[in-house]
Amino acid sequence: LVPRPSLSLHPSQGVSLGDNVTLRCHLPQLAAWVRLYREGHLSYAKRKKKEQDAAEFSYVGTLREHAGRYRCQYSVSESAEVSVKSDPVELVLTDVRYPPSSISIHPEQHVGTGTNVTIRCWNKDYGATFLLHKDGSSDPIKHQNSRGGGAANFTFLVVTPAYSGTYRCSYRPRGYPFVSSPLGDSVMLEVTPTPAPPGGSEPPICMPPVMDGWLCLCIQSAWGLWLATGTPKLLDPTGAEEQSRANLVMALVRGFVAALVFGLGVF
């Protein structure tokens, strides 16, 4: 079995129409020939012979028709079995003739944890597919077809501080899935943690309160609710009676705790 090659794009992003770009096919072993395919074309786009380590295919002054999804393939000799094709790489070209999209954020840029946030992107109606970008991510994090409405809403439910960051929009006009508008203006989302409830770390309070004549035990449930149980305490028992009743109390308490834990596990 001939090992699969891999394909990379240089530069990997931000390529505009007219820029130079190189697709590099990385070869696990010496190849007699290497082919580069563009999806949708029956014949190979380009072919090179006698390549070792990597084969490079370059476009000087990219055109709209160069945009697309590419794979590469090789053979160790002219007559040998060919490798499977590499995983795909997309060459997306930015066309500055398309105006950048606008962006807004709701309800506001500064929100607390658990809030639902919507980022809206819009432009003139190109029947576009909108893409949402977050600074620091190499690929778009979301995409949505505008369905002819010229706008897209990207909603994040119950946000956490991990959603904080700078967001921008781009779009791809109908019929040109690998041609993109430039990135538009940005919005900043800042999610602040919700403070813990007051007294969340305070010692538990027994209910009913500890009173003279009662032994009280507090138990924390799965929901953080403190429950309590009690048993009568003799005011002045003898030593033997005290020990016997203490043992009885502990047995009752252990049984109650076991039943409570089992009940909480069921529900």
pTM score over 0.75: no
Q: Is 45 left (phi over 0), alpha (psi -120 to 50) or beta?
A: alpha
Determine the pLDDT at residue 53. Answer: 86
Determine the pLDDT at residue 131. Answer: 95
Can you tell me the distance from the alpha carbon of 53 to that of 216, in angstroms, rounded to the nearest whole number? 76
Is 90 exceeded by the pLDDT of residue 195? no
Determine the pLDDT at residue 23. Answer: 94
Determine the pLDDT at residue 44. Answer: 55
Give, as one character, the DSSP assignment of residue 82.
B
Question: Average pLDDT in the 110-115 region?
Answer: 95
**Higher local confidence (pLDDT), 261 or 107:** 107
**CB-CB neighbours of 60 under 10 Å:** 9
**CB distance 5 to 74 below 8 Å:** yes
The chain-wide mean pLDDT, for the chain, equals 78
**CB-CB neighbours of 213 under 10 Å:** 10
Determine the pLDDT at residue 97. Answer: 92
User: If you count DSSP H runs as helices and E runs as strands, how many of each does the chain have, helices first?
Assistant: 1, 20
Can you tell me the distance from the alpha carbon of 20 to that of 37, in angstroms, rounded to the nearest whole number? 18
Determine the pLDDT at residue 258. Answer: 57
Residue range 35-52, pLDDT digits in tens: 999 987 655 567 777 778
198, two tokens: 């007051």
Place of tokens 């709701």: 106
- Chain CA centroid to CA 7, Å: 24
Closest listed residue to residue 6, CA positions, set 75, 87, 78, 65? 87
Closest listed residue to residue 130, CA positions, set 121, 138, 139, 141? 121
Q: CA 69, 75, 80 angle in degrees (round to 5)?
A: 140
**CB distance 123 to 171 below 8 Å:** yes
Element (H, E) at 252: helix 239-266
Residues in the chain: 267
**CB-CB neighbours of 109 under 10 Å:** 13
Determine the pLDDT at residue 210. Answer: 42
Q: Of all residues in the chain, what percent carry a pLDDT higher than 70?
A: 70
Long-range contacts, 55-59 (Cβ 8 Å, 24+): 55/24, 55/25, 55/27, 55/31, 56/22, 56/23, 56/24, 56/25, 57/22, 57/23, 57/24, 57/25, 58/20, 58/21, 58/22, 58/23, 59/20, 59/21, 59/22
Query: Which range in 6-10, 72-76, 148-152 is most confidently predicted, on average pLDDT?
Result: 6-10
Determine the pLDDT at residue 249. Answer: 47
Determine the pLDDT at residue 121. Answer: 94
- Distances 266 to 4, 16, 260, 262 between C-alpha atoms, Å: 51, 60, 10, 6
Pairing type for strands 165-172 and 186-192 reads antiparallel
Residue range 49-105, pLDDT digits in tens: 777 889 999 999 999 999 999 999 998 877 778 899 999 999 999 999 999 999 999
